Structures are given as structure tokens and as C-alpha cells.
Chains A and B, each alone.
Chain A
Amino acid sequence: MENLDFNQHTSKKYNQELEKIRSSLLVMGGMVEKQVKKAVEALVEGKSKMAKKVIKKDLGVNAMEVQIDEECTQIIAKRQPAASDLRLVYSIIKSITDFERIGDEAEKIAKCASFLIDENYLGNYSHEFMKLYQLVAINLNQTLNALARLDAEEALTIAKKDEIVDLAFERLNNDIIRNMTTEPTKLNLLLRLSWSAKALEKIGDHTTNICEYIIYLVKGKDVRHLDINTIKEEYF
């Protein structure tokens, strides 16, 4: 069902409940987006305080996941949602897991950042790293927009762009690996850098997952593990 509107139920309370989990989801999305941004900033600019803050704030993200989860459970128990409502609740439950994972990845980056800052090392990866981050950040940001607007086409476009993220990661990672062979003494640090890049790549994957949930929510079709072109042909 296209163009969903969750505001027309006979029960106004139901409208409010659905609205609440939706807005909570967006708040959580915004929260993890900020976490990622700050973690990368800490890493690139060597802000160790900021890194610590990110690690601490991940608890808040986790708490948010639990809270939204609980609200969704309540809606299922009380309202037995069907059709688009069911898909909304289902997508939200799935999405918050991915958001929580994104939060975890941000935390991972922040931890690596703390280590690297202590060692005072970033090498010359700052530029490459920012490039990868920007790709991921744009995708994440657009995903949040698509989620707010329930825009399946946008979500499909974003999902497609994940390939670019993967390519960028591969390039960066290969670079790091090459360095590992030339500077085996810094293996410890380079490994941390590689982990951070991997974390960004994973954030991209989680973003793609969320896009798939958006498509499911809007189109009613489960598009996970399908080829993107097939999806486009069949469902759009």
C-alpha cells in the first residue's frame, strides 16, 4: 500500500500510539546519526573527550531500543495490528535493532579512536577515512529522511548506493593492509584503523537493512537478500 497514513484509525489512541513509536524511531535514528558523526570526528580530529562521551552515550541508545521495543510489544498485544499497521510495527522493531547496531559500531569507532589518540596516530588516513564516512553519513541521513517520508523509491536508491560504500571501504582497507606489511611495528594501530573502517562499512550495511524495511513497510514486499535490479523490476 502506497502513501501510508497512520492517522485515520477509528481509535484516536491507536493513532497516537503508532505516531509515538514512529517519532521515537526517528529520534533514535537522529541519535545514532549524531553518535557516528561524533565518533568519526573524535577519531579524525583526535578528540579523546568526545570519544569517551560517545562511548557513554551508547547506553542511551540501548535504553531507547528497549523502550521502543516495549512500546511495540504493547501495541501488538493490545491492538493486533494488521496490514500497513502490522508492517509499520514490524519494520520499527527490526529497524531499532539495526539502529542499535549502528550505535554499537559508533561506540567501536570511539573505542578505537581513544586508543589511537593515546598513541597519537592516524597516519595519513584522515582524508580517506572522512571520504568513507561521508558516503555512509549521507546514506544514513537520507535513510532517515526516507523513513520520515515513507519513501520507498528513495530507500531503493540508497540501498543501491551501498555498493559505493563497499568499494570505498575495500580501497581504504587494502591501503591499510598494504601499510601493515611495510610497517609491521604499527600493526596494532593499523588494525584499529581497519576495525574502524569496517565499522563504517557495517553501518552502511545496517542502513541498507533499514532501507529494505522501508520498502517492506511501504510496498508490503520482503526484499531482503534480493538483487536490487530484480526488486526494481518487480515491485516498482
Chain B
Amino acid sequence: MSKNNNTSKIEKSLKRRYLKENIFKASGYASIGIAFMFLVVLLADIGIKAMPAFIQTQIELKLDLSYESLQLNPESSVAEIKKVDFRQVIRKALRKQFPDVKKRKEKKQLYSLISSGAEYQLRDMVLENKELIGNEHSFNLYADDDVDALIKGTINRKLAQSERRVKDFKISLIEVLEKNNQVSKKFNWTFFSSGDSREPELAGIKGAIMGSIYTILVTLMLSFPVAVAAAIYLEEFAPKNRMIDFIEININNLAAVPSIVFGLLGLAVFINFFSLPRSAPIVGGIVLSLMTLPTIIIASRSAIKAVPPSLREAALGLGASKMQTVFHHVFPAALPGILTGTIIGMAQALGETAPLLMIGMVAFIVDIPQTIVDPATVLPIQVFLWADSPERGFLEKTSAAILVLIGFLIIMNALAIYLRKKFEKKW
């Protein structure tokens, strides 16, 4: 092929063009790489830090549950069992195991091997199975958070005594227990089954999870129908006039309002004016739905806008009314987009902290909420609370809570993808 003038010019420019293309590609790879690296570092850091939280150190003790030591008889009622001082039972067992410990200070150290919550653990076990009373049994009791940290290795035994929280004497006691195979590490079910606590080894996330679920449910129930109805009206029925333009602009503005402002609104209107319960998921849900409404409205509107006009024309041409056209054809076709928008809004609400601080969901709540009007907290606030706590054991709990929160978000996104795939249809 003969090369004319243009061919050589194009050839020259080709090199330059390909170079530019390659540079652009490389920078693209680099950006994705950096983003991915940050993600990996973040997840790995949280994951590693959270791991210990899923393990619980327990100490096996032989407890004397004879009638005389519990001051009970076989006919004792539940109320009487509840009154028993199980702490003394545990302390007695400890003293029995370490008869040499006599000094008051040393005794205090000895008693602090076991968590202060262990007596309630024991009481619950006994109440659950009354057959235990009257005999001697071995029980796995929660270790104190310092012991837990020492066993897991977060407290270094080799440091000088003054630089660590656990004294040499206590370590010697632990070593004895270890030698007797009385120390064991179990999966930490408590983390998932109990509410918050001041003691790290007793603190669980179930309260926050339930709080989050209730809050999100309230948000979904309120914001989905309202937002979808608003979007359908604005897209399909609203006349094009100034009033509607004004509303549109304000919906867009609402999406940009700082979330804490919604919190203030919630506090002023729902709690102070309407006297709804403080710290309750219902108020949190209302506030969050105010915040997610514009997100869902905007996503739903663009989904409805993306429905090809030919579909509307087809239905109208057959004599379907406006309403039938929208609900038989436009809405089902837009549903995947609407659902995606909704779930993005829900995920945003799930991670929101600021407005909930304002309505009191930051309170320390031990009980697991049973209804939407019970005081509750939510996952991100639980993270916030634990991150603020001085105890060493809460560090790992914080990371674990973050993991649970991320897990929730992943589940919601997976649901979004599943629903979109399910409702998506070609036309």
C-alpha cells in the first residue's frame, strides 16, 4: 500500500493518541488500585481488631450448689432462688481452689478473675435447669475483661509490672488455672444475644441490631409509600407550572440539608411538640424517613422517567386510563430502579448517627427493645458509644460492631441487586 501524505500524518498522530490513551488507562488503574487498597486496609484493620471480640475467655470452676450452701430446700420457689447470693458461691469456689490466698488485697485480686456478671450467668443457668441444685457441678464462667485480654494476648505478660494492668500476683493465679486446664476460649454468643453493658465481656450488640431494624422498618414504612407516591405524581400527573417547579427545587434542596438539622427538627417537633417517647425507634424512623425521602423521590423519578414513552403510548392507545397506564405498566417497569433508590436510601439511613444523637438514641440502654416505642440505640451509635468507652475490651467490640454494620449494609445491597434482577424486564 502506498503511503500518501495523510497516512504518515495519521501514523504520527496515532502514536500520540495511543500514548494519551495508555496514560489515561494507567491513571485509571492507579485510582482503582488506591481505592481498593484503602478498602482492604480498612477492612483488614477492622477485621483483625474485631476478631478477639468474637472469642470469650471462660474459667471453669467447681461450684457447690448443695441446698445448705444455697440455703434452699427442694420446695423453694423461683423467687427464693432469685434471692440467693450466687456471688458468694463463686467466691467460695475460688477460695477453695486457692486456699493460700489470705490477704485482703490478694483476695480482691482473686475475686476479680471472674467477671462481675458471672453471678447472673450462674443464676440464669440455675433457673433454667433446677436439677442442678443439690449437687456439685463444673461451670464455665465469664472471665474478667483484663483476664480475657491477657489470655488473648492483648496484654503482654512480659512487660514490667508497672506497665501493665494485670499485676504479677494475678498472673500467677491465672497460670495455675491454665495449668489445670480450667481456662478455655469459646465463641462469644453473648455478643450477639445481649444488650449493652458497662462490662466489655458482658456487652452485646443485639440491642443495637434490634434498634436498627425497628428504626429502618419505621423509615421504610413511612418513606417508601410517600416517596413513591410523590415521585409518580410529580412525574406523571403534575401540571408543569411554577408551583411544581418550586416543589421540585425544594426536594432537591432537602437532599442536601445536613442530617443533624433533621435531628433538631425531630427533637423540636416530634418529641417536644407531639410528646413521642425519647430514644425510641419510632422517632428515629420518622426523622430518618424525612432524611431519606428526597433520595428515594429523586431515584424513583429518574426510574419513572427512564420508562420508554412507547410503553405509555401503547397503553393509552388501547384506551387505558392514565391511572391504569401508570400502575399497570409504568410503575412495574420502574420498580427495579425505585427499589434500588429505596435501598440506597435505607443504607444511608442505617449508617446515620447525627440526627439520632439529637433525639436521645445515644442513651445507654441495656434492655433489648421489644417494640418501636421502647428506648433503643442503633448500630452506628453503638459504635460511637463503645469507641468512647475507656475499657480495653471495648476496643475490639467497637470493631466488631463496625463489622456487623458493614455486614448489614452488604446484605441490604445484595437484596437490592436481587430485587432489581427479579423485577427487571426487557422491552
| Chain A in direct contact with chain B (Cβ < 8 angstroms) | no
Q: Which residues of A contact B (CB under 8 A)?
A: none
Q: Which residues of B contact A (CB under 8 A)?
A: none
